[in-house]
Chain A
Amino acid sequence: MRRVLWIIAAAVAVAIPFLVPKTFYLQIVAGAYITAIAVYGLNVILGYTGLLNLGHAAFFGIGAYAVALLETKAGWPFWPALLAGCAASVVLGAMVGSVSLRTRGNYFAIFTAAVGVMIAIVFTNWQELTGGNIGIVNIPPPPSIGPLAFDGDVPKYYLVLGALALTILICRLVRHSLVGRTFVAIADNEDLARAAGIDVARVRLTAFMLSTFLAGLAGGMFAMYNGNLGPDQTGLDITFEQLLYLVIGGIGTIAGPLVGTLVLVGISHELQGMQQYRFLIFGPLLVLLVRFFPLGIAGGFSRLTARWAAR
């Protein structure tokens, strides 16, 4: 059942460029995929280990700015720039993690929020490097690999889709590995995990680094796809938006980040005319969902299918 749904989803995703009439819609879907990659990263740290990283969008920014700067200022091609962007995000993640993971609960959230705000301030104010509020424009597309060229909307869409597929695959593998189970064990009962001989600090740092890797990957993809980049993508409000997608999609589930992002980006787009008033609809939606489906759309769905199967 679940596998069939994934195959259908994959088939639809591959067919979308031939189905939608305007590239405008293709861009919206690709944008949602990129956000979903970042939401998967948030899911690793929040859904698997129970830690709320409010600086998540800043790590997205690190990946994005690294790619944009290496391409425009240092003249690197996209591929090594993407690797460097992911690496930069992970290295910074290791540094921030090794300090912030000494704190717990609300303090962890506050600490990471502060780090996120600081990084966003650097993006906005270091004008010589980042272009300030204007940001970076004319980021070149990836160079072609053999006959594969990446300079149009459709090839870029497939590139983003590939990154998303890779992300989902990594999350699935991790979830079902011993490391993934230690994430769950620590979220379930930290003291017991410690007593069972799990090195809690090291496992948490691993989760944090994986999470920032995915944020960096999403950022790099964002810079590549849009061809331009500004600091508005890296702030606290973006983290909260991603958090909303995750909660509505289903925290800790494999499908949740994708489902939540697609649904909310879709609704958000339909309600674009309402601008910030669209949160008047998101707010009650969130309340209803948390009340009736605390595990989000994906969690609620698997509970319903389990009930049908039990009949």
Chain B
Amino acid sequence: MLEIKNLGVRYGAASPALEGVDLTVRPGECVTLLGANGSGKTSLFCALSGLIPSTGQIRFEEREIGRMRPAAIVALGIAQCPEGRQLFPDLSVEKNLRLGAYVGRRDRRGTEAALERVCTLFPDVRDKLRSPAGALSGGQQQMVAIGRALMARPKLLLLDEPSLGLAPKLVEATLDAVAEINRAGTMVLLAEQNAYAALSIAHRGYVLANGRVVLEGSASALQQNELVKKAFIGA
């Protein structure tokens, strides 16, 4: 379980990127984080992963992780798939995936099992294991990026806009895979601009604007909400 209380992030003297954010992800949940560009979604993820300093409380599985190093946070079970389907382009797909298991490198059997699980979830990836990651299509790269995060065998998966820049059909396939990962027991925190698609697989959602939570509720309630409809769904 992830519990965030009064989280703040500030870059230099500018107005804060995040202020007073409260958020929880309960066991088994898929929670979506909605918000426009610059609303603070990526800052929240980077703070959770320990990549940028933050104020307030971040508790994961009863432990305060706000001051931990990124590698220690991954080892505790929070893996991030950063925005923009980033890969290590010079390495093959398989090597990219195996790097995702870096924190669990001493558990060889677990790493092989995780690789098998990723290949089962994304059959396209299995055919491309030996290809350089830079040579894949956008959709395939996104699958490898998610797969790499899964290789750390996380309890909580952070996905930063996995549908960004993908064709509608691939958006659907990607989010189906996310739903499947969640059904298998992994908590998911999903940042999205594509609110309609995200709310169709999430249990609950939060709406961020200018670094603050302006709305939260169940997925179905948010789907009906006028503000959400106007701002994100365009209906």
Within 8 A of A (CB), among B148-201: 148-149, 152
Binds A, one of B30-38, B85-93, B226-234: B85-93
Nearest residue (CB) in B for A197 is: B74
B75 touches A (CB below 8 Å): yes
Inter-chain contact count A-B, CB under 8 Å? 61
Q: Are A181 and B99 in contact (CB under 8 A)?
A: yes
Residues of B within 8 A of A196 (CB): 74, 79, 99-100, 102, 148-149, 152
B119 touches A (CB below 8 Å): no
B26 touches A (CB below 8 Å): no
Residues of A within 8 A of B99 (CB): 178, 181-182, 185, 193, 196, 198
B113 touches A (CB below 8 Å): no
Q: A184-B88, A185-B88, A188-B88 known; A194 and B70 CB under 8 Å?
A: yes
Q: Are B51 and A195 in contact (CB under 8 A)?
A: yes
Within 8 A of B (CB), among A154-191: 178, 181-182, 184-185, 188-189, 191
Residues of A within 8 A of B215 (CB): none
A151 touches B (CB below 8 Å): no
B86, B91, B152: the one within 8 Å of A197 (CB): B152
* Complex alpha-carbon distance, A193 and B70, angstroms: 10
Q: A181-B98, A182-B99, A182-B102 known; A195 and B88 CB under 8 Å?
A: no
* Complex alpha-carbon distance, A181 and B100, angstroms: 11
A237 touches B (CB below 8 Å): no
Residues of B within 8 A of A195 (CB): 49, 51, 70, 80, 82
Nearest residue (CB) in A for B74 is: A197
Nearest CB in chain A: distance from B136 CB, A: 15
* Complex alpha-carbon distance, A194 and B82, angstroms: 11
Would you call the interface of chain A mostly helix, strand, loop, or mixed? helix
Q: Number of residues in B with C-beta < 8 Å to the partner?
A: 27
Within 8 A of B (CB), among A249-278: none
Nearest CB in chain A: distance from B143 CB, A: 16
A95 touches B (CB below 8 Å): no
A185, A191, A194, A199: the one within 8 Å of B91 (CB): A185
Residues of B within 8 A of A194 (CB): 51, 70-71
Q: Are A199 and B69 in contact (CB under 8 A)?
A: yes
Q: Are B51 and A188 in contact (CB under 8 A)?
A: no
B2 touches A (CB below 8 Å): no
Residues of A within 8 A of B102 (CB): 178, 182, 196-198
Residues of B within 8 A of A193 (CB): 88, 99
Residues of B within 8 A of A14 (CB): none
Residues of A within 8 A of B75 (CB): 197
A287 touches B (CB below 8 Å): no
Nearest residue (CB) in B for A201 is: B69
* Complex alpha-carbon distance, A194 and B73, angstroms: 11
Q: Are A189 and B105 in contact (CB under 8 A)?
A: no
Residues of A within 8 A of B149 (CB): 196
* Complex alpha-carbon distance, A182 and B148, angstroms: 14
Nearest CB in chain A: distance from B201 CB, A: 23
A192 touches B (CB below 8 Å): yes
Within 8 A of B (CB), among A195-219: 195-199
Nearest CB in chain A: distance from B131 CB, A: 14
Residues of B within 8 A of A181 (CB): 91, 95, 98-99
Residues of A within 8 A of B152 (CB): 196-197
Q: A191-B51, A196-B148, A196-B152 known; A184 and B82 CB under 8 Å?
A: no
B103 touches A (CB below 8 Å): yes
Residues of B within 8 A of A191 (CB): 51, 82
Q: Are B88 and A189 in contact (CB under 8 A)?
A: yes
Residues of A within 8 A of B87 (CB): 192
Residues of B within 8 A of A184 (CB): 88, 90-91
* Complex alpha-carbon distance, A198 and B96, angstroms: 12
* Complex alpha-carbon distance, A152 and B89, angstroms: 49
User: Could you say which of A188, A194, A195 has the most chain B C-beta atoms within 10 Å of its C-beta?
Assistant: A195
Q: Are A188 and B70 in contact (CB under 8 A)?
A: no
Write out, one digit per residue, whether chain B residues 193-226 have a CB within 8 A of any chain A CB (1) or not (0): 0000000000000000000000000000000000
Q: List 24 A-B contacts (CB under 8 A).
A: A181-B91, A181-B98, A181-B99, A182-B102, A184-B90, A184-B91, A188-B91, A189-B88, A191-B51, A193-B88, A193-B99, A194-B51, A194-B71, A195-B49, A195-B51, A195-B82, A196-B152, A197-B75, A197-B79, A197-B102, A197-B103, A197-B152, A198-B99, A199-B71
Binding site for B on A (CB under 8 A): 178, 181-182, 184-185, 188-189, 191-199
The 6 closest A-B pairs by CB, nearest first: A197-B74, A197-B103, A199-B71, A188-B88, A192-B86, A185-B88
